[in-house]
Amino acid sequence: MKTVFSVLAVGALGVLASASFAQSGRLFLDEAPLDKAVDIPREKLEEYFAKMSKEQIGVIRMLEGGLYNVNIRHVENQTPDKYGTEFHEDTIDVWVIQEGGGTLVTGGEEVDGKHRGGVERQVKVGDVIFIPAGIYHGMKDTRLTTWLNIRFPEHRN
């Protein structure tokens, strides 16, 4: 009886964790190895892209390396009136646009919880964007944009 209860309790915790995890809109896949290279075929990326759209997942962290990581980011239906920016004090982002496109804003500042100012530019599939540490950035206007996001620490600051 005690074993059955334990199994049920662990199962219930798993269901609760999954529900919380699904609400966060993030999926973490694997730790970055230190002893071998990792290949991620285009076909696998396309599976992840479809999963992100279907399940409304905003971030898939494919490889977690502590200060370094490789992610897929996905946003939909961002408008100039309703969009968010990110700010990483000591982390550089490199984006490679994979699907969609739209208006990317970098720079500017946060005032009363809203982004103000910055430089806007159109981005499309194939574009590579380098975003230094300490710069606000986000998709300001897009129906759908999916990008690879490679992050690493800024050592000059």
In a domain, 117, yes or no: yes
Number of domains in the chain: 1
pLDDT band at 10 (very low <50, low <70, confident <90, very high): very low
* Residue 85 to residues 7, 41, 80, 110, 146, Cα–Cα distance (Å): 42, 29, 11, 9, 15
* Phi, psi at 24, each rounded to 5°: -70, -20
Spatial distance between the Cα atoms of 69 and 85, rounded to a whole number of angstroms: 19
Residue 62: enclosing H or E segment and its boundaries?
A: strand 59-65
Quick check: 4 pLDDT over 70? no
CATH of residue 41's domain is 2.60.120.10
In a domain, 9, yes or no: no
Q: What is the CA radius of gyration of the chain?
A: 18
In a domain, 98, yes or no: yes
User: Can you read off the two tokens belonging to residue 43?
Assistant: 């076909």
Query: Looking at per-residue confidence, does 46 or 155 come out higher?
Result: 46
In a domain, 131, yes or no: yes
Spatial distance between the Cα atoms of 139 and 36, rounded to a whole number of angstroms: 34
In a domain, 6, yes or no: no
In a domain, 39, yes or no: yes
* Listed residue (79, 59, 26) closest to 147, CA to CA: 59
pLDDT band at 22 (very low <50, low <70, confident <90, very high): very low
pTM (two decimals): 0.81
Find the domain containing 109 and state its range: 26-153
Spatial distance between the Cα atoms of 126 and 87, rounded to a whole number of angstroms: 23
What pLDDT was estimated at residue 26?
Answer: 86
Quick check: 157 pLDDT over 70? no
In a domain, 62, yes or no: yes
In a domain, 5, yes or no: no
